[in-house]
Each structure stands twice: as structure tokens, then as C-alpha cells.
Amino acid sequence: MSVVSNIVLSSRVRRSPYFAATQRYGCKAYSVYNHMYLPLYYESPEADYWHLVNGVTLWDVAVERQVEIVGPDAARLVQRLSPRDLSSCAVGQCKYVMMTDARGGIVNDPVLLKLAEDRFWLSLADSDVLLWAKGIALAGGYDVEVFEPDVSPLQLQGPLAAAVGEALFGAALNDLKYFRFAEFDLDGMPLIVSRTGWSGERGYEIYLQNGADGDRLWEVIMEAGRPHGIKPATPSTIRRIEGGLLSYGADMTLENNPYEMNLGRLIDLEQEADFIGKASLARIAQDGVRQRLVGLIIEGGRETTAGLERAAVVRDGQAVGRVTSVAYSPRLEQTIALCLVTAEYSAEGTVLTVQPEGQLEGQLEGKTRASVRNASVSPLPFVTKKTV
């Protein structure tokens, strides 16, 4: 993660209902995600990581903007948008889904929440799905409303998240199964709480349904978490790479398909529904992929990540892929990365090298050779939940 010294606030970029709280608690840097300010770190990326893996952290992730689809044809439209078979999805259930275009390219990888038989939320990664869904609904003549509701998520993440959640919502929260959600009223604030998250740790997402209560909700959660050492933090690049969690816009874009991302399990070509991209994905499944996302262990210490974002992945002097995300893992004491590499070189243990972007010249002769780092393909995830 590259960080500049400051960011100029603009009225063109939306601020979350928790923005003032993030500043009050000392957020030191922001990025822009889904046309909103996303906190990047508080104490430091590594310190925030340790708070996450050892304790409990609170994240402002209102950038996970929601698209609500409601109406008699809501279920049909949601299925049209995704290659995952959603016919058995129950009310109160979440599903991680792909959304694909006609070529099979990934439009987004949201979490779907089924609030009623005719009402759904898509909790988005970074792309303009509201416009996409509106266009598909209009072109297909679906009897639905598609809009952005007043919903702003927080994430409560870390091994002590369950203790803080119980302090807030009672013992009933412990009965919430993975990728399920329930409705709660907390001091007059209507919330939906799901057993989900983007950390690789125990966690919950808390969906506030009235943005005016943002500051109050933040403080209520922080107060409940103080006996457990709660800290404000942000989505951790280190932890999500350890866990093999993908970031839309970094690890995958519209130019990639789910099979390249090892997400073929989310595609059901046998279902009757004619989802967008079905014919293209069937051809890709039959022909195989030209490249694949893999883990990469890169030699060197903390300094190794400098200049390696978007680095070329090289074999025998020729570029065969590129790094998509990279971080130094203080727990593993290794530099780890996700990368897209030619399928021929995607097998575990394959020896490769990485070269900073813009410095690959022919056979890597001369002055560029000093920047080359040895690397090897590693299975994903680097760290499993069983080891934390």
C-alpha cells in the first residue's frame, strides 16, 4: 500500500456518517473508494494489523455502498446479475457472489443479503453497480425498484469481536451462523448485523439504516468495546493478503473472469436461469484459462515491498504476469503477494522473479538487475483461520 502525506477533501467525494469520528480518533490517511473517503490507517498499517489479529477493531466501511433491489421481479433480476445459483438462498442469508458482463468479465464481487422474498441488498466492492443494475432492469423490463438506500456499514473484526458483540446485542448474537444476518434495535437505532467481514478473523458487519445516527453508533460501539481494548482500524491489506481475500480493482477487474480468480465454485452453468455472461463463461470453462491468480512469497524483508505494487512477474527473462497486491507479513516474517501469472507457471513451488513496474527491459540486463527479487508460487491462503 502506497500512502501520500495528505489528501485534499472535496465536495465531490462523499463522507461517511462516521467520517467525523474517524478524524476524532486519529485516522492518518484516506483513499477514495466507491466515490467516498475510505480510512487507510490510524496508528500505522502494522500496528492496526496487530490490533486486528490479537484483539478487536472497529472499521468505517460505509464505502461498501448498498444497491437495494425490491419488487415482484427482484429475485429474477438478482439471479440475472449473478452466475451463482441463488434459488436456495433463504431470507436472512448472505451470499458472496460474482457479477459478470456478457464476456464473463467481473463487474463486481458483492455480498448479497436477502431481506425478504422480494427485497435484496448488494453490498458492493469498488464499481458503479447501481448504474449497471438500473440499466439491466430497464432493458429487461423487470418490475422492480433499484436504488441506494440509507445504509452505512461498520465492521467489528478480531478474535474479541464476539465479546463486544455480546455486550452490544446480547447472547443471541452468538447464535448467528456464518453468512447469516439478523435485525436489531440498539438504543433506537435500526441495525442489521451479519456474521461476515473482510479480515480473515472473527467478525461482524453492522449495517446502520439511518445515517444521522452514525456518530452516536460509533461511540456506543467504542464504549462497549473499551473493556476489551477495542481500537479503530481499517481493512487490513496485510491480513487480507494472508487470508487470500481478493480486492476488486486490484486483484481483479472487468478484464478478468471468475475462473482466473479460482472462483469457479461461484458459477453454476447447469442452472436454468440465463444469467449475464453464461455462454462466455461456459466457453472459458471448456477451454481453460490463460492466466491464474496465485500466492507469491518474495525474498527479502520489510523493505522488499517498495516498488513492487504492479511489478512484473518474470520467468527466463520474460514477463509472465504481474503482482496485484503485496505486503510484508510481520507474523510470517515474509513478503507475500497475490499475482496473476500465465497458467503454465501457476503450480505450487514454481520459481519466478519480480521486477518493479517500468523497469523490465528485454532480458533484464544491466542496471535493472539489482531490483530483481526471487519468488516462488505459494498455495492460498497464506494463513488459515485455524492458525489464528
User: pLDDT tens digits for 244-277?
Assistant: 999 999 999 999 999 999 999 999 999 999 999 9
Tell me, yes or no, whether 183 and 226 share the same domain. Answer: yes
- Is pLDDT above 80 for 64? yes
Rounded to whole angstroms, the Cα distance separating 37 from 35 reads 7
- Confidence category of residue 3, pLDDT binned at 50, 70, 90: low
- Confidence category of residue 98, pLDDT binned at 50, 70, 90: very high
Instruction: Look at residue 29 in the predicted model and tell me its pLDDT.
Output: 94
Tell me, yes or no, whether 199 and 331 share the same domain. Answer: no
Instruction: Look at residue 282 in the predicted model and tell me its pLDDT.
Output: 98
Residue range(s) defining the domain that contains residue 378 = 290-388
Tell me, yes or no, whether 53 and 176 share the same domain. Answer: yes
Tell me, yes or no, whether 34 and 81 share the same domain. Answer: no
Chain centroid to Cα 284, Å, comes to 24
Look at residue 340 and tell me if it is in a domain: yes
Listed range (129-138, 256-265, 293-302) with the worst mean pLDDT: 293-302
Instruction: Look at residue 362 in the predicted model and tell me its pLDDT.
Output: 45
Instruction: Look at residue 67 in the predicted model and tell me its pLDDT.
Output: 98
Tell me, yes or no, whether 24 and 162 share the same domain. Answer: yes
Q: What cell was used for 342?
A: 500465465
Q: What is the mean pLDDT of residues 35-62?
A: 97
Instruction: Look at residue 388 in the predicted model and tell me its pLDDT.
Output: 38
Look at residue 260 and tell me if it is in a domain: no
Q: What cell was used for 38?
A: 475510505
- Is pLDDT above 60 for 367? no
CATH code of residue 362 = 2.40.30.110
Look at residue 247 and tell me if it is in a domain: no
Is the backbone peptide bond immediately before 381 cis, with ω within 30 degrees of 0? yes
Tell me, yes or no, whether 161 and 48 share the same domain. Answer: yes
Look at residue 141 and tell me if it is in a domain: yes
Tell me, yes or no, whether 137 and 182 share the same domain. Answer: no
- Confidence category of residue 370, pLDDT binned at 50, 70, 90: very low
First to last CA, the chain: 23
Domain boundary among 122, 147, 172: 147
Rounded to whole angstroms, the Cα distance separating 285 from 290 reads 11
Tell me, yes or no, whether 320 and 199 share the same domain. Answer: no
Per the structure, the count of domains in the chain is 3
Tell me, yes or no, whether 171 and 32 share the same domain. Answer: yes
Tell me, yes or no, whether 226 and 313 share the same domain. Answer: no
Tell me, yes or no, whether 311 and 372 share the same domain. Answer: yes
Look at residue 373 and tell me if it is in a domain: yes
Look at residue 272 and tell me if it is in a domain: no
166-224, pLDDT tens digit by residue? 999 999 999 999 999 999 999 999 999 999 999 999 999 999 999 999 999 999 999 99
Instruction: Look at residue 361 in the predicted model and tell me its pLDDT.
Output: 46
What is the value of pTM for the model shown? Answer: 0.93
Rounded to whole angstroms, the Cα distance separating 95 from 185 reads 24
